[in-house]
Every structure is written in structure tokens, then in C-alpha cells.
């Protein structure tokens, strides 16, 4: 089936609006809170890393000193956000109108499979990028001379294209696990690959527009909220906390909308099958 981005977005807005209260409650816990905590507790480390970016020895020492905290926030934050995405997907797609507790129970049950699938997805992307890199480096070496610069550029574009292509093909992993009920990580990845076939470029264009909008909102809020806040409060903990709240609020809205988008894309691409007939909540 041909993907229609306008239909996907209009349906996303409708279904999120109808379930806004419960979705934002889940988003506040599983998207806003991790962003707030990471901003508050990692801001000093991030500043130190940025300051040491040009000194390789100092940077390695700094990363070694804080690697435990960084990994704890990265893995823990990812786990919490995964639960949020899974739970929101359950709330958006289950006709039985589950409670938040039931949605969270389903999310926790699917969490291990999602972690494994994410690792497999990352390995797949790394493999594709590595193969493309080796091929393009070989071609670049064969060109020789001044053509090597062009070869390097072509190699970068090819690797980026391969990475984006693989990402798009696996982008429906979460709705596949919830809507299709696939708990086998490999089967879920294969199902996402199957559903996105023939719509890769259209999906990539849609995802790109969403990401541009997300970045634009971040920049605008930084200019119109964080700049005055830092001017009034200075660069202390109060300003850092406000920055965390703003970042977390954006993350919550983004997480809820992204979940809605993915569920509606999945519904659209499976519209000819039984699982594609799930009604939006009224």
C-alpha cells in the first residue's frame, strides 16, 4: 500500500487529542522525567566534556572517570523511554481501553524483546554501514590522486544513505510488537521490514519533516525561554532545572506524537489486514 503522510498526520493528531490526558500523564513520567534528570545530573559532565573536546588525553580521562554514570543514565533512560513508547502504543491501539496499569504491564512484558530487537537493529545498521564503507574505500583507493576527496564524499553519502534506509525499514518495530503481538525480536524486525517495503523514501521524507519541526521548536524555545531565564537566573542550578523541565516537556510531547505517528503508519500499511482495522478511540 502507498503511504499517505497527510492521512498519517491527521489521524495522529485526532487520536492523540482524544487520549491526550492519559497520554501526557504517561509521557510526563516516562519522557519528561528522564530528560529532566539527565539534564540536572549530567549538565556538569557535559560541560567538562565540551571543554576537553580538543584535548584527546583529557577527554579520555574524563570519560573514564564518569563512564559509569553516563552508561547508567543512557541505559536506564532508554529503558524508561522504551516502556513509555510501548505503553503509549498500547493505549492508542487496544480496543479494550486498557487502564494505565494494564498498559504498563504489557509494556514491561515486551521490554526485553524490544531491547534485543534494538541491539539486533543496531548491529544490522552497523553491518550495512561497514560493508558500504569497505566498498567505497576500495573504490576511493582505486581512483587515486585528487579524486580521493570526491570518493570520500561519495563514501560518506553512501554510508549515511545505508544507515537511514535501514533505520526506516525497522522504524515500525514498536507498533509491530504491540499491534501484531510479535514477541520474537527477529520476527518483529522482519515484519517491520516487510511493512515498509515500497514506501522507504516517502517514510524517510515524512520522518525528516518531523525531525526538522522538532529541532526548530527546540531552537525557538531555547531562544525565547532559556535565553531570558539564563539572563535572569544566571548559569546556576535554577537555570539548569528550568532547562531540564523545558527539555523534558518537549521530549514528552515529541514522544507522544511520535508514538501516535508510528501507530497510524502501521495501521495504514496494514489496512488490508485484520490488525489494521483497529479503531481510534472515541
Evaluate if residue 217 carries a pLDDT over 70.
Answer: yes
**Average pLDDT value for residue range 53-69:** 80
pLDDT mean across residues, the chain: 85
Quote the CA–CA distance of 131 and 54 in Å, as a whole number: 30
Confidence of residue 60 (pLDDT cuts 50, 70, 90): confident
Query: Do residues 244 and 35 make contact, with C-beta atoms less than 8 angstroms apart?
Result: yes
66 contacts: CB under 8 Å, gap ≥ 6:
45
pLDDT value for 208: 95
> Which triple of cell numbers denotes residue 6?
497527510
159 contacts: CB under 8 Å, gap ≥ 6:
129, 132, 133, 136
Q: What is the pLDDT of residues 14-56, one digit of tens each?
A: 999 999 999 999 999 999 998 888 888 887 787 777 777 777 7
DSSP labels, 93-124: H-TT---HHHHHHHHHHHHHHHHHHHHHHHHH
Percent of the chain with pLDDT over 70: 89
Percent of the chain with pLDDT over 90: 47
Evaluate if residue 281 carries a pLDDT over 60.
Answer: no
**Average pLDDT value for residue range 193-219:** 93
**Average pLDDT value for residue range 85-96:** 90
Query: HEC profile for 16-59?
Result: HHHCHHHHHHHHHHHHHHHHHHHHHHHHHHHHHHHHCCCCHHHH
Q: Is the dihedral of CA 165, 171, 177, 180 positive or negative?
A: negative
Quote the CA–CA distance of 258 and 247 in Å, as a whole number: 16
pLDDT value for 79: 93
Quote the CA–CA distance of 190 and 144 in Å, as a whole number: 40
The 8-class DSSP code of residue 183 comes to: -
Confidence of residue 277 (pLDDT cuts 50, 70, 90): very low
Evaluate if residue 147 carries a pLDDT over 90.
Answer: no
Quote the CA–CA distance of 135 and 122 in Å, as a whole number: 20
Cα distances (angstroms) measured from residue 149 to each of 130, 143, 144, 155, 161: 19, 10, 9, 10, 18
pLDDT value for 139: 65
pTM of the model: 0.85
> Which triple of cell numbers denotes residue 89?
502504543
pLDDT value for 157: 80
pLDDT value for 212: 95
Query: Do residues 108 and 100 make contact, with C-beta atoms less than 8 angstroms apart?
Result: no
**Average pLDDT value for residue range 69-85:** 91
Confidence of residue 142 (pLDDT cuts 50, 70, 90): low
158 by Cβ neighbours in 10 Å (0-12 / 13-18 / 19+) ranks as: middle
pLDDT value for 253: 92
Evaluate if residue 262 carries a pLDDT over 80.
Answer: yes
Q: What is the pLDDT of residues 169-205, one digit of tens each?
A: 999 999 999 999 999 999 999 999 999 999 999 999 9
Phi-psi category of 98—alpha, beta or left, where left has phi over 0 and alpha has psi -120 to 50? beta
Quote the CA–CA distance of 54 and 35 in Å, as a whole number: 27
Confidence of residue 148 (pLDDT cuts 50, 70, 90): low
Amino acid at each position: 500500500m502507498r503511504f499517505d503522510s497527510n492521512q498519517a498526520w491527521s489521524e495522529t493528531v485526532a487520536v492523540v487529542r482524544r487520549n491526550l490526558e492519559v497520554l501526557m500523564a504517561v509521557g510526563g513520567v516516562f519522557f519528561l522525567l528522564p530528560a529532566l534528570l539527565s539534564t540536572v545530573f549530567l549538565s556538569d559532565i557535559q560541560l567538562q566534556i565540551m571543554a576537553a573536546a580538543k584535548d584527546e588525553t583529557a577527554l579520555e580521562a574524563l570519560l573514564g572517570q564518569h563512564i559509569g554514570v553516563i552508561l547508567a543514565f543512557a541505559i536506564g533512560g532508554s529503558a524508561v523511554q522504551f516502556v513509555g513508547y510501548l505503553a503509549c502504543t498500547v493505549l492508542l491501539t487496544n480496543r479494550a481501553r486498557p487502564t494505565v496499569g494494564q498498559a504498563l504491564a504489557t509494556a514491561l512484558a515486551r521490554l526485553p524483546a524490544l531491547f534485543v530487537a534494538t541491539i539486533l537493529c543496531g548491529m544490522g545498521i552497523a553491518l550495512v554501514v561497514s560493508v558500504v564503507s569497505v566498498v567505497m574505500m576500495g573504490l576511493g583507493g582505486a581512483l587515486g590522486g585528487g579524486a580521493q576527496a570526491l570518493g570520500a564524499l561519495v563514501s560518506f553519502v553512501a554510508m549515511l544513505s545505508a544507515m537511514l534506509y535501514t533505520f526506516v525499514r525497522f522504524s515500525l518495530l514498536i507498533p509491530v510488537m504491540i499491534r501484531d503481538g510479535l514477541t520474537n525480536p527477529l520476527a518483529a524486525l522482519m515484519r517491520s521490514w516487510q511493512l515498509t517495503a515500497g514506501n522507504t523514501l516517502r517514510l524517510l521524507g515524512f520522518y525528516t519533516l518531523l525531525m526538522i519541526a522538532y529541532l526548530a521548536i527546540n531552537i525557538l524555545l531555547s531562544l525565547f525561554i532559556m535565553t531570558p531565564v539564563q539572563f535572569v537566573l544566571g548559569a546556576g542550578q535554577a537555570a539548569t532545572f528550568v532547562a531540564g523541565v523545558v527539555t523534558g516537556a518537549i521530549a514528552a510531547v515529541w514522544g507522544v506524537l511520535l508514538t501516535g505517528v508510528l501507530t497510524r503508519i502501521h495501521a495504514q500499511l496494514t489496512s488490508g489486514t485484520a490488525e489494521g482495522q483497529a479503531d481510534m478511540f472515541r
